[in-house]
A and B are shown apart, each in its own frame.
Chain A
């Protein structure tokens, strides 16, 4: 009799363990990020999570996050783009040529630079999609070519300073329309509106599911989830508000994340990207124009690299020949960190962004702790490997179930 009780207890315990493991495997990257945040907070004696530093982390990593979003689509197709760092530098140099040397207004120069990025993407996409040259080779050639062209444009010199309006892309904050003292009221209001919008959207989706008689979570679970989400948004808003408010770049990032999340999740094109990356042959036989998809994904990557180049130039307030060097590796690391598969077909925008944040937090935290760049690199490399091993282990466990 006693044995039976023990058995059921053991079983319950086992199930609880399984459930925890499941939660962990689903949210492993977010959990790692939170653990890192807490660890750095403790190790730095409370400096790490100060509003100023949180704002800094966003400013310092914004260009990598932009790259990661574009790189995600490339990786979803099973490719890599090695050229993005060089493209950033090249676009930065063009921006310098236009704005610093020729006094072109940012309102004209920025669209021109983005267009150039898209054209570079189209050039590389053409070779990959239609001539079927391996992306690794095409973009390796791009890495060399555009770094070289950057030197040609800049003549080995840096161009500075950029107009103040342009610098605001990376260093500006939203104005406080309500003129609060110390606390940035406008940011808080924006945060509150955002929280309400998110809750409303979720409630609407739930209602629609119910109408179609699909399974929905119970009402208390739903309310609890909504409160939790709203609390996080408000907390973050408060953190930013207590420094200088939302940085402009954060708004740009938010728009990119929302757009890409929408693209990958809710659109036909997004589904076709996943289908192409998961099994190109079957996608073709299902009537998907995989060449067109590949071409446009590279155009998009070029556009994102250009945007990242502008963000970096604006933050450094200079176009330099060495800008963006080896950032392609950071972008790829972010994407793989976020659970994307090197063979394509698996990965999410949120994953890539969280992966980018993990990298950024590691950089920032270790710098505050005074760890040298040499050790930072080594530690980041090791953590990347461990994260991917963990991810692989999770997937294998899932399959064996």
Chain B
């Protein structure tokens, strides 16, 4: 038997011209717990999707050697047949089916199409015992907690005779105790000879559990650490160390007095109102200042911005918002817009744009009253306004009548920015403003953001990319688990400082 259960060699994958993975190599020893670390967008999930066959063989280049043989997976089922099972961040269970039905979904214990329920139930009980879950096999999945659902997913992997278990952010939605149980379980599997690959942002867990760690950054393999080299500091250095020259415009900040202020902002989950998503957040922005909110995925950054912007997220929202010393009403999107707020969402396509409409219609969507009289549109005025912003943003389109769906990511983002600038806002929240945009267009967008700040607007950038935060922001709030864990001025900040603050967990907050 070969020493390495899995070797992925020279994997390169691009999404319509943008390289997501560039010559990535990964070697996993048999029986190891191997961690995959990297910032958001470093390419971890893409790599695992290639391994599982979700991205078929002809959509990337490079070789996968599993158990000594070259594999060419065309679909998920191909990799599962070899014993490779991936458990995604978002659980893939069917909520209104029972545990036993879920365990054997697509793998039904049937004879000539008729399901043998007794056999199914017996096997389910065995599997649940393996993962240490005490639930009735007939319970609906929607009736058990997330932690137990995670265990059902793992049991499902065992039903498929798993050899290599891949866990993508397995503890992201779990509490402390559930996380610990899960990690213990993974260790127990190791004793049974099962190899695991674990993707996690929680560095203390990773350090605790893994035998070896491979670090990815910007779609490349940076290094693989052996057990004796592993430490949180070492991982952080590998994840963030990158060249920062000339990727951001020179910032000559001209910062005035405090203009915008949020006090004691608390938000609960929209459906499960017992879950606190944002807790007692306090934030100030001065005139002409660019502040940043740094945090890993799931830290509650987007939830914060959207709840401030017209309560577009969450329930039981409490806290106050002040502009220029006076409290303002942000309880609905129109009133937030009227009070000078704008929110550029992180998901351009599903939240920012109307893909059926052209550049002109998207540009004016939030400021229709500016291009109409008594509710009747003045199309000439509208075209002119859109044209003005097209020129100002240097959006590359044939005309303002071009459909936005056919534009590149960078130009689509410029249309979203145009839409919000057309409302003449005073405070802008920019949520992942350069996600999925190539480097050239990023620079242009940064320039636009600086111009807005120079006009005296208050700007808040939310970003998972630390270099972006460090390159753009005058002051940075760090966030984890729905709280601000630190506030750092630009001159005192670097990636290690931020990463350390971003990973402070609740118990350690003083």
Contact = CB atoms under 8 A, between A and B. Distances in A.
Interface of A: 208-209, 212, 214, 266-272, 274-275, 278-279, 281-289, 345-346, 399
Interface in B362-418: 365-366, 368-369, 372, 375-377, 379-380, 383-384, 405
A391 to B, nearest CB: 15
B369 A289 contact: no
B357 interface: yes
Contacts of A346: 356
Contacts of B309: 285
B355 interface: yes
B368 A268 contact: yes
Nearest to B419: A286
A323 B401 CA distance: 45
B351 interface: yes
Given A214-B380, A266-B376, A282 B352 contact: yes
B379 A266 contact: yes
Given A209-B380, A279-B354, A267 B345 contact: no
Contacts of A284: 312, 333
13 contacts: A212-B383, A266-B376, A268-B369, A268-B372, A274-B354, A275-B361, A278-B357, A279-B350, A281-B351, A282-B353, A285-B333, A285-B345, A288-B365
B334 A283 contact: no
Contacts of A282: 350-354
Contacts of A209: 380
B73 interface: no
Given A283-B354, A346-B356, 9 more contacts: A267-B376, A268-B372, A268-B377, A278-B354, A278-B357, A283-B365, A287-B337, A287-B366, A288-B365
What DSSP secondary structure best describes chain A's contact surface?
A: helix
B473 to A, nearest CB: 24
Interface of B: 309-310, 312, 333-334, 336-337, 343, 345, 350-357, 361, 365-366, 368-369, 372, 375-377, 379-380, 383-384, 405, 419
Contact of A287 (B334, B372, B383): B334
A212 B375 contact: no
A272 B419 CA distance: 15
A238 to B, nearest CB: 34
Contacts of B334: 287, 289
Contacts of B352: 282, 285
Contacts of B350: 279, 281-282
Contacts of B365: 271, 275, 283, 286, 288
Given A214-B380, A214-B383, A279-B350, A285 B375 contact: no
Contacts of B376: 266-268
A212 B353 contact: no
Return the 4 tightest CB-CB contacts between A and B, nearest first: A278-B356, A278-B354, A286-B366, A345-B356
Nearest to B345: A285
B354 A285 contact: no
B375 A267 contact: yes
A289 B343 CA distance: 17
A275 B405 CA distance: 14
Contacts of B351: 281-282, 285
B312 to A, nearest CB: 6
A266 B377 contact: yes
B151 to A, nearest CB: 33
